Chain A
Amino acid sequence: MAYNVIHEKLKAGKVVVLDGPMNTELVRRGIRWRKHGLLTDTVAVEQLHREYLNAGADVIRTNTFQLNRLTYLNVFRSREHQAHIGAPGLADLVPQLLKTAMRLIRQARIKAMKSDSVAIAGVLSPMQHCFRPDLAPTEEVARREHAFMARIFKEEKADLLIADSMNTIREAKGALAAGRAAGLPVWVSFVLGPEGELLSREPLADAVKAMKRGGADAVLVCNAPPEDMSRTVPRLKAMTHLPCGGCAHIGKFSPPSWKFDFFPQFLETESWPPERYAGEARKWITGGATIVGGDCGTGPAHIAALRVAASAGAAAAGGR
């Protein structure tokens, strides 16, 4: 239902604002990072969704980045080992967490009284570490695992899916196919590598082509510094008539001092205060982006500033 509103906006050439990250912002707020806070810190999770809604996001994303079955399997030798020394129920934990994430985001939207105007995007993300394209699953495994998640998001009434921070074409294809099979609109967002292509070094143009062919509803770039987005968005726009855009991260990724897949901590984010971030995002809009949001390190204030920039950008383009 709510996706129609977004679809119409995009069709009219208006700029749609995505929210900012859940993970880095929850960690910044002192949440102990375990199970995405979904078992321990539900109030804080719902509160952050509400702050993004209040900041003016048109699309809000579930707190499920890098939350999948393989995350909890990869740290064991095998399924048997997981059952032998792992906490009881670990193999069935992910559906429970996804449902909780959906419940919290729906509650936030209801409380903000934005059920008709804001769409909920279920977040699919790489099965392996988002910055390690060398570990990416085969298209078949990707499709199977993403389908498992897409079905749950569909049952839980997500309005669309976003395959976030994809780092290879093959996993993106698997996620896109899984999302389409679940009957939901799918946006695909690629991690932008330092070379301006996919993190896997596959050409962005090939990725865009594959996404068009697979039936994506939008293509984005993400998880790279703001200036990288500014350079890339006009190229992306030239590659497709699909709605496109991006989310930049700010600051520097500071991984944990022991292995656990994607631990969300970005430092030195002060160098990109909201106004500066929105100023850079204006260049994306000028470059053709109609979907803009925030990635790791940004917060509600960045999204509020983006909202202003997006509205001004739309006015300048004659969209309002």
Chain B
Amino acid sequence: MSYQPIKEKLARRETVILDGAIGTEILRREVTWADHQLMSRPEFVRTIHADYINAGAEVISTNSFQLCRRALFNHFRDETHRRHIGAGDLDTRANTLLAQSVKLAVEAREQTKAKQPVAVAAAVTTLEWCFRPDLAPSDAQARTEYGEIFQVVKDAGADLVLLETVNSIHEAATALEVAKEIGLPFWISFVPTEKGKLFTGETLKDAAAAMEKDGADAILLNCAPPDDISAGMKQLARLTKLPIGTYAHIGRFDPPEWLFSEEYPPSKYTEESARWKKMGATILGGCCGTTPEHIRQLNALR
């Protein structure tokens, strides 16, 4: 499989269905997601991917939210401290898990025998916490770390990178450059504020221009409530010729977990998505709180 069928659909301006949440879906199924369940319960993770494929998703994203070496290392003062009291496999654990997250998505695709072509997107997030641009590493450091992550997911068989919940232009641009060097199609997804800006205060206009100039394959918005997404989508359609799309979250962030609500049942989420489609979105899916049923009903918008 490859990115090619998706690329062609987008070129024809046809709607592409992205999957829904995986992290919160793990929680909704009454399992803790503290370790992503990639090693402990691979069958469980594959089942969720399969449910999304069966619901009609054409792009499925790996179960790898905020999964990177830095996230693990951040729990220690420094390398000396980590070696002194940390688990022995921490140098390699993130990459092992990342590769496993791709493998499980690929296996789910093989086992599901879907009617539609399905691409596997490696879901990669900001290197530091997604809502905290103030913590972002230097561009030089980010380049090294994204290089490592993208190589791992490429080798594991990912068809594209979905860099999601991004909060600044410079981190997006750095990652994009690295993805191009490594040779992976690259979707960028920004988290918008209520006013349709990035969390740094940068504008979507500048973000879209930077992404288009450097060769991103699509620009999306995610990890915000539907109203915020609408505010951003309204602008985005006018700002770029690239395919655009979105996946909103529904419910509330209840750290470290998620509070599910009935505010956006699948039918209502589909109505919201129909508005985004009208605004120009051709990639539609769901973020935290959405379920396979939300994705199944999105098929009406194809």
Contact = CB atoms under 8 A, between A and B. Distances in A.
A85 B225 contact: yes
Contacts of B80: 194
A268 B259 CA distance: 33
Contact of B32 (A32, A74, A131, A262): A32
B65 A258 contact: yes
B256 A34 contact: yes
Contact of B255 (A132, A255, A260): A260
Interface string B136-152: 00000000000000000
Interface string A19-43: 0000000000000111000000000
Nearest to A199: B77
B200 to A, nearest CB: 10
Contact of B131 (A81, A131, A249): A81
Interface string A227-269: 0000000000000000000000100111111111011010110
B7 to A, nearest CB: 30
B85 A75 contact: no
Given A77-B132, A87-B259, A131-B76, A252 B85 contact: yes
Interface stretch (B52-60, B66-74, B171-179, B269-277): B66-74
Contacts of B225: 84-85
A134 B33 CA distance: 28
A88 B251 CA distance: 10
Nearest to A254: B87
Contacts of A81: 131
A33 B27 CA distance: 12
B94 interface: yes
A257 B132 contact: no
Contacts of A32: 32
A259 B165 CA distance: 14
Nearest to B254: A87
A130 B74 CA distance: 11
A72 B254 CA distance: 9
A225 B83 CA distance: 12
Contacts of A132: 74-75, 77
The interface residues of chain A, by DSSP majority, are classed as loop
A170 B123 CA distance: 40
A86 interface: yes
A249 B74 contact: no
A90 interface: yes
A34 B32 CA distance: 9
A129 B80 CA distance: 17
A258 B129 CA distance: 9
Interface residues of A, number: 41
A133 interface: yes
Nearest to B75: A255
Contact of B94 (A76, A86, A88, A257): A257
Contacts of B87: 252-255, 267-268
Given A34-B257, A75-B253, A90-B254, A194 B81 contact: yes
Nearest to B30: A32
A39 B256 CA distance: 13
A198 to B, nearest CB: 10
A88 B263 CA distance: 14
Contacts of A71: 255
Given A84-B194, A85-B253, A258-B36, A253 B129 contact: no
B97 to A, nearest CB: 6
Interface string A123-146: 000000101111000000000000
Contacts of A34: 254, 256-257
Contacts of B94: 257
A193 interface: yes
A21 to B, nearest CB: 14
B21 to A, nearest CB: 14
B8 to A, nearest CB: 34
Given A75-B255, A199-B77, A225 B85 contact: yes
B254 A86 contact: yes
B131 A257 contact: no
A32 B31 CA distance: 8
Nearest to A195: B80
A150 interface: no
Contacts of A265: 34
A263 B84 contact: no
Nearest to B251: A87
A303 interface: no
Of A34, A133, A258, A268, the most chain B CB neighbours within 10 A belong to A258
Instruction: Please list the 5 inter-chain residue pairs (A to B) with the smallest Cβ-Cβ separation, ordered nearest first.
Output: A87-B254, A255-B75, A194-B84, A260-B256, A258-B66
Interface of B: 32-36, 38, 65-67, 71-72, 74-77, 80-81, 84-88, 90, 93-94, 97, 129, 131-133, 167, 194, 199, 224-225, 249, 252-257, 259
Given A34-B256, A90-B255, 5 more contacts: A75-B255, A88-B252, A132-B75, A132-B77, A253-B75
